[in-house]
Amino acid sequence: MLSGAANAQTVTLPAYEDTTLRGGTYQHTNFGSTELVTRASRDETYIRHALLKFDTQNGIPAGVTITSATLTVTVKGGNSETRTIAALCVPESFWEHEATWKRRSSTLVWREAGGTMDHQHATATATSVPGSRVTFNVTPMVQEALNRTRRYTRLMLVDGGASSKGSLRNYHSNEAADASQRPKLVVTYGRASAPPAPPAPPPPAGGTTLRVLQWNIASKDDATGVVNHLLKFQPDLISLNEIYKNGSSDNRPQEIVDLLKARTGRTWYYHWAQISGLSSGVGVAVLSRYPIEDTDTHLLSYGRSAALIKITVIGRPVHFVSTHLDHKSSSKRLTQVRELKSWLTQFAEQRIVAGDFNWYPGTPEINEMASTYYDGWAVAKSKGKATSAPSNPNGNTRNNRIDYVFYSKGASALSLVSAQTTDRISLSDHRAVLAVLKVN
C-alpha cells in the first residue's frame, strides 16, 4: 500500500515470511504456523528467536534513499517482565515453513545455529500487555538490504538479556486473524525535490580485460601448489571446484586467498558454497581480486549448488558464478542447467558462469547452456584465439572438454579476447581453462 506527498513515497509492507527458532530438544522443529516468540535463557531448549522477512525487493524501487523505516510487532502475551528486544539483520535466506534452529530450509543449514545474525540495528522495549506495540527504527537495515543484489529485508528479534522465565514474550505473526495485529514494515523513501544524482562516469576508453579461470582442483589440500599454478595465468576471477571448508581451522578458500595476497600484494576475496547446501565439506568457490559487493548461493536439484558474487569493473556490475554439475546423469545435468539459468535471470548483466559441467560440447545439457550463454573456449577457437598444448588441440580439460567459462549473450559490455587451457599437473586430474574477456 502506497501513500505520501509528491516529494516522498511511503509503503506499508506485511511480513512476507515469519517464524520462530527454538533450540535444544526443539532444534529440528519448525514453528512457521504459530505466533512469534522471544525468550532469553541459558538453556537452548527455552531460547526463542523471532525471524521475519519483508519483500523490499519488489515493494520498493531500486536505487532509492530510505528516509525512515519502522518495524512494528504486536504483543500477544507473555510473562511478567518488561524486556529489551534487539533487531539484528540476517544475511541468509530462509523458508518460513522449513526453517529450524539448525536449518534455514529443508536442505540448507544456517552458518550459525539459532539463525545466522549480522550486526544489531535497533532495540525496543516490549511489555507483556496484550495488544501493545513494539516498534524498531530499522532505517539503516532497510537501506543496506536495498543496496544488495537480493533486496529482501531479513531480520531477527532477539532477547539478549539475562536468562529468565519472565522473559517469554509472544507476538502476533503474519497468520494472525486480525490483520492490524500482524507485523508490518512502514518505509518512506525518496524526495522528488532532491537534485538528481550525477550520471556515472563513462568507462575508460578501450575498456579493460577480465581474466577468468576455471579449475577443478580435485579436493587437493596443497594450497601452495594450487596458488603456484593459479598465478601462472594472472587471473582476476577464479572458479574452483572440489574445494574443502571444514570450519575455521580447515578453510581451504581462506588459505588460498591469504596466499594470493602474500604473493601478489593485493587483497583477494572469496565466497564458498558446500556442494549440497551443508555448512562444511566439499564445495565450489569464487575468488576475486575485486571487492565482493554481494553474494548468493543457490541449491540445485540432485545435491549440487552454485555460488555467486557481485563485483564492479570500471563501473559495470558483474555477476560471477561457480558451479559443479552431476557427474553421472545427463538428464540430471539438464535439469540443473535449467534451474541455474532460471535463477540467474534475477541478476543484472554482466553475467559470467564457470564450472565443471561434467560433459562435453554438443550434448543436451551443454546445448541448453549455450542457447543463452557463449562458450568462451568455442568463441575463441572460432576466432583463432584459443591456445592449448599441441597434444591437446581441442582444449580438453579432462578426457574431453568438460570445464567451461560461459558469458551471457545479453552481456553487451563483455566480449571474448582469447582462451587458453593449461597443462595438466599432478595436483588435479583436470586442466584449468582461462577466458580473457574485455569489459567495455
Lowest mean pLDDT among 10-14, 248-252, 266-270, 295-299: 248-252
Supply the pLDDT for residue 2.
Answer: 47
Q: Which three cell numbers stand for residue 226?
A: 594450487
Asked if 14 contacts 1 with a C-beta cutoff of 8 angstroms, the reply is no
Q: Which three cell numbers stand for residue 159?
A: 532477547
Measured distance CA(424)–CA(419) in Å, rounded: 16
Average pLDDT along the chain? 92
Non-local (6+) Cβ contacts of 345 within 8 A are none
Which pLDDT tens digit goes with each residue over 12-50? 999 999 999 999 999 999 999 999 999 999 999 999 999
Is residue 51 scored above 60 in pLDDT?
yes
pTM of the model: 0.64
SS3 180: helix
Which pLDDT tens digit goes with each residue over 52-61? 999 998 889 8
Which pLDDT tens digit goes with each residue over 79-95? 999 999 999 999 888 98
Residue whose grid cell is 558454497: 273
Instruction: Give the Cα-Cα-Cα angle 70, 145, 96 (nearest 5 degrees).
Output: 80
Q: What secondary structure does DSSP assign to 108-139, as a single string?
A: -B-SSTT-----EEEEEEE-S-TT-EEEEE-H
Is residue 200 scored above 60 in pLDDT?
no
Measured distance CA(157)–CA(109) in Å, rounded: 19
Supply the pLDDT for residue 106.
Answer: 79
Residue whose grid cell is 586442466: 431
Residue whose grid cell is 549455450: 370
* Dihedral (CA of 97, 101, 102, 108) sign: positive
Is residue 224 scored above 50 in pLDDT?
yes
Neighbour tally for 228: CB within 10 Å: 14
Domains of the chain and CATH, by start: 2-189 (2.60.120), 208-439 (3.60.10.10)
% residues pLDDT > 90 (the chain): 80
Bridge partners, residue 386, by sequence = 419
Which pLDDT tens digit goes with each residue over 365-377? 999 999 999 999 9
Asked if 244 contacts 253 with a C-beta cutoff of 8 angstroms, the reply is no
- Nearest 5°: phi and psi at 57? -60, -45
Is residue 191 scored above 60 in pLDDT?
no
Instruction: Give the Cα-Cα-Cα angle 246, 251, 256 (nearest 5 degrees).
Output: 150
Average pLDDT, integer, range 267-291: 93
3-state helix, strand, coil in the chain (%, to 5): 15, 40, 45
Is residue 182 scored above 50 in pLDDT?
yes
Dihedral angle at the C-alpha atoms of 387, 390, 394, 398, nearest 10 degrees? -100
Is residue 151 scored above 80 in pLDDT?
no
User: Looking only at Cα atoms, what is the longest distance across the chain?
Assistant: 79
Strands, DSSP E only, in 237-335? 237-245, 269-274, 281-288, 294-300, 304-313, 316-324
Asked if 210 contacts 237 with a C-beta cutoff of 8 angstroms, the reply is yes
258-291 burial code (b ≥16 CB/10 A, e <16):
ebbeeeeeeebbbbbbbbbbbbeebbbbbbbbbe
